[in-house]
Amino acid sequence: MSEETIFSRIIKGDIPADIVYEDELCIAIRDVAPKAPTHLLVIPRKPIPRLVDASPEDQKILGHLMLAVGEIACKAGIGDAFRVVINNGEGAGQTVFHLHLHILGNKAFSEAELGF
């Protein structure tokens, strides 16, 4: 990765954030511009710019992120109804090029909002 992202700086402790979960492979923070009553970001400590930039060596991290989402959602009181979003690339709405998963919950999503 050529330049440091805001997420890398949060992970290093250079920028404050509302951290709701952390372990050896990832952290989760509250989104500063939430799109749902509960909007959390799950961020791997390893700076992978986009999902398509992940390599076979990242398989453990990717699987861990998915398992962490369930644990984080449960601890956040979302229950078993939530949405997980990964934006891959600028055309898909990615604005920070450090892979992250959005957990959106405590909101009923309409069929139109789901986009499919």
CA distance 69 to 42: 7
Q: Which one is catalytic: 39, 98, 100, 102?
A: 100
Q: Where are the domains of the chain?
A: 6-114
What share of residues in the chain are helix, strand, coil (percent, to 5)?
30, 20, 45
Q: How many helices (H) and strands (E) does the chain have?
A: 3, 5
pLDDT at 113: 59
pLDDT at 79: 82
In sequence order, the 6+-apart residues with CB closer than 8 A to the CB of 61 are 25, 26, 44, 46, 48, 54
CA distance 109 to 116: 12
pTM of the model: 0.92
Q: Is 100 one of the catalytic residues?
A: yes
- Please, are residues 40 and 102 in contact by the beta-carbon 8 Å criterion? yes
Specify the CATH number of the domain 6-114: 3.30.428.10
pLDDT at 110: 74
pLDDT at 2: 53
Tens-level pLDDT at each residue, the chain (116 residues): 457 999 999 999 999 999 999 999 999 999 999 999 999 999 999 999 999 999 999 999 999 999 999 999 999 999 889 999 999 999 999 999 999 999 999 988 876 555 54
Nearest one of 109, 102, 105, 107 to 29, comparing CA atoms: 102
